Amino acid sequence: MTFKGNTTRIAFLFPTFSIKGHGYILRTFQKDGGNYSESVHTSLADELGADFVEEYNTWEQHDSVQSDHPIENLPFTVGRPSSSEGTLIREMQKTIWASDDDGLYPSDIHSDKFNLPTSLVARVDGVPVGFLFGFYRIACNKSLENLLGEKRISIESQLMGILPGNEKRGIGYNLKMHQAEIARELRIDVIHWTVDPLQIANAILNFNKLGAFACSFYPNYYSFRNELNQVPASRFEIAWLVSRRVKSNNMQIGPWTEPRLPELSDYSSDMQVLLQEDLSKSQQLTKSVVAVEIPVDWVGLQKKNIALANHWRLYTDRIFQTYLGFEEDQYVVTRVARNKKRYFLLMFKSGIVTRAIESASRIV
Ligand SMILES: CC(C)(COP(=O)(O)OP(=O)(O)OC[C@H]1O[C@@H](n2cnc3c(N)ncnc32)[C@H](O)[C@@H]1OP(=O)(O)O)[C@@H](O)C(=O)NCCC(=O)NCCS
């Protein structure tokens, strides 16, 4: 950290929010317990234009009080992790992503003092089988901020994982719905996260079940490689408006649940369909809806045919990089549809999505 021109120690600043207002947590690593003085915190807060800066020394003992909420008619519960479950979250991350230890998030971030806006586990018979956590974020996506009309605090949802053998039981969906409920209690309207655009399970969950949308794109966003990411790790930026709902002309935004996976034929006749074999051709997209084919099994494809996986990544990257956004000729991804055994991401012209958001009703 540089303070008054001198490099002193390494520390990280995390946006936070509490009854004291909008501030930062100063995450320090002082084994000897030598924390910064109050005057340093105050000067830093002034420099950052924040209401306060609160120090959090990782070497101190930080506890968390667990909570547990049943989910109606389902055999699992969700709630805040205890201190020992914080450690299990790290182990679950390692199992699900086969990540190196260096790529694992520290377990103490789930403590009460670190004050994450989302820190949740799902338990079956009291044992964690999945998790979801996220950080405060100072602003939301710029174009969305313009559309919603004010600068606001949002949540950057960092990671969600369900242990193998427990997927497809509604755990991921219920963790996200619980996250949305907590966000509304915190008066936060938008939750963001990033996701690989070619993962079908995530796409159906994010777009069709949660009613989130993708309005920005980052090619080759992460440098890491692991079991789920063997080619450049490109990402959609997802936005989820948790306190608004829209349903009009096949456009559903906000926490809605699509009762079934729609067919491509359910959508507008003014639609352009890009099959996998068309992706490498030069494309000029002008229709109101564009359907982009994505693989049925992206993880399997990366293992079986890395050349084809790279090809698919390269050409979908080009499309999303050029066309995703809220500018006039751009598109926003809001749905997955199916045609026989093939899956498609549906991109709607941004004006259609903008009008839908503007007409949204609020969820209290
Ligand atoms: C993606 C993931 C979090 C989903 O969690 P989950 O608990 O299996 O999801 P749910 O059971 O709540 O499923 C919600 C919906 O997503 C869809 N879905 C989930 N898995 C699917 C799959 N393998 N194929 C097709 N659709 C799928 C379904 O529509 C499902 O709803 P339905 O069963 O009512 O039709 C989980 O598979 C996982 O941990 N994946 C690896 C890590 C990861 O990708 N994390 C997310 C990015 S950080």
Q: Which residues contact 329 (CB under 8 A, 6 or more apart)?
A: 286, 323
Is 334 in contact with 349 (CB distance < 8 Å)? no
Is 112 in contact with 65 (CB distance < 8 Å)? yes
Residue whose CA lies nearest to ligand 1 atom number 24: 201
State CA 284 to chain mean position distance: 29
Choosing from 163, 168, 341 the residue with most ligand 1 atoms within 8 A of its CB, the one to mutate for a pocket test is: 168
Answer yes or no: is the C-beta of 162 below 6 A from any ligand 1 atom: yes
What is the DSSP secondary-structure string of 255-276?
Answer: S---SSPPBGGGS-SSEEEE-G
User: Does residue 252 have a pLDDT over 80?
Assistant: no
Choosing from 121, 133, 162, 297 the residue with most ligand 1 atoms within 8 A of its CB, the one to mutate for a pocket test is: 162
User: Does residue 227 have a pLDDT over 80?
Assistant: no
Minimal CA–CA distance to 315: which of 213, 237, 239, 231?
231
Residue type, 223: S
Q: Which of 30-39, 208-217, 220-229, 249-258 has the lowest mean pLDDT?
A: 249-258
Is 101 in contact with 90 (CB distance < 8 Å)? no
* Strand bridging mode 52-57 / 21-28: parallel
Convert the pLDDT of each residue in 36-82 to its tens digit.
Answer: 889 999 999 999 999 999 999 999 999 999 999 999 999 999 999 99
Convert the pLDDT of each residue in 97-114 to its tens digit.
Answer: 988 898 899 999 999 999
Convert the pLDDT of each residue in 128-181 to its tens digit.
Answer: 999 999 999 987 777 888 888 766 789 999 999 999 999 999 999 999 999 999
Distance 168 CA to ligand 1 centre (A): 6
Distance 143 CA to ligand 1 centre (A): 28
Classify each residue of 215-229 as buried b or exposed e, where b means 16 or more C-beta atoms within 10 Å of its C-beta. bbbbeeeeeeeeeeb
Answer yes or no: is the C-beta of 340 below 6 A from any ligand 1 atom: no
Is 117 in contact with 183 (CB distance < 8 Å)? yes
Percent of the chain with pLDDT strictly greater than 70 = 96
Give the Cβ contact number of residue 345 at 10 Å.
26
